[in-house]
Amino acid sequence: MAPRSVPLPLLAMAAALFIAAPPANAQAPLLQCVPYARQVSGIQIYGDAHSWWQQAEGKYARGQRPAVGAVMAFKPYRSMQLGHVATVAKVIDKRRVLLDHANWSPIDGRKGQIERNVLAEDVSSANDWSEVRVWYAPIGGLGTTRYPVHGFIYPQGRAPSQLQVPPVQLAAAEAKPGKLSREERKAQRQAEKDAKRRLKQIEKQRREYAKYLKKQEKARKATAQATSAPVPRLPVDPIGDLIASSGS
C-alpha cells in the first residue's frame, strides 16, 4: 500500500517548528540593559547606555530626583565603558531606591540576567544621586564601588512632580508628622513596612551567599589537598642504584 502523501503546508510548518525550536540544553540569550530599560520605562532611546543622557536632552525631562518609572543613567566607569541604565521600581527614602535592570550581576555564573527590586544607595556628599552603590549578587551586598551617575530620565509626558514620591519623603519635607492625614499615615506605615521587608530579604540573600562562598572555599581546599599530596617513593630505587654504581 502506497504511503499517504502529506500536504506541503504541513511539511513546511513542521520544518519551521523544527528549525525554530532551540536544543533542550540551550541557554537563554543574554539580555543587555538598554532594551530592558526601554521596555520597562517606555523611554524610546536607542544606542549604548552611556549615550542616553545626551540623547534625552530636549526629548525627555531630566533631573537629579529619583522617581518610580524614571531611568537612572550611569556614566562609563572602569570596565563599564558602555555605561548602564536601570529603571527605578520603588523609592524607599531620599537615599535609597529599588531598581529593575538587566546585565548587572552574574546569576548562576551568567551575565545578561534580569534583576528586580535590587537596592541602590545614593552615596554622594550633596545627596544629588551623582554617585551610587548598587546591589551585586556575587558579594551579597552593595560593596564599596561608587558608580558615577548622570541623573534620571523621566518618561515622556510625565514631569518629575507627577511621578510617585514616597509618603515618607513627603512627611519629612513638607509636613509635620502630627498633621498628616489618615491616608498619608497609612501609606507611610505601608512604605516603611515594604522597605523593612525588602531589607530583610537582602540580608537573607547576603547570609545565604556567604554560606555558599564558605562551601566553595571548603571544596577548593579539599581539592587542593588531594592534588598536592606527595607521590610515595619506592623503598628500592633500582635505576638510581645502577646509575650510582656505574659512576655516571
Pick the residue with more confidence: 109 or 228?
Answer: 109
Mean pLDDT of the 195-210 span: 69
In this structure, what CATH number is given to the domain that contains residue 36? 3.90.1720.10
Q: Is the pLDDT of residue 57 over 80?
A: yes
In a domain, 13, yes or no: no
Domain assignment of residue 36, given as a range: 27-220
- How high is the pLDDT of residue 176? 42
Mean pLDDT of the 191-217 span: 72
Q: What distance in Å separates the CA atoms of residue 182 and residue 189, rounded to the nearest whole number?
A: 11
Integer CA distances (angstroms), 140 to 91, 134, 146, 179, 205, in order? 21, 11, 16, 40, 6
The domain tally of the chain equals 1
In a domain, 147, yes or no: yes
Pick the residue with more confidence: 101 or 164?
Answer: 101
In a domain, 119, yes or no: yes
In a domain, 167, yes or no: yes
Q: How confident is the model at residue 208 (pLDDT cuts 50, 70, 90)?
A: confident
Under 8 Å between Cβ of 158 and 69:
yes
| CA proximity to 34, closest of 133, 79, 101 | 101
In a domain, 145, yes or no: yes
Pick the residue with more confidence: 10 or 83?
Answer: 83
In a domain, 58, yes or no: yes
**Cell 540623547 sits on residue:** 55
Q: Is the pLDDT of residue 21 over 70?
A: no
- How high is the pLDDT of residue 218? 84
Question: Could you give phi then psi for residue 219, rounded to 5 degrees?
Answer: -65, -40
- How high is the pLDDT of residue 68? 92
In a domain, 6, yes or no: no
In a domain, 5, yes or no: no
Pick the residue with more confidence: 69 or 200?
Answer: 69
Chain segment 86-134, per-residue pLDDT in tens? 999 999 999 999 999 999 999 888 889 999 999 999 999 999 999 999 9
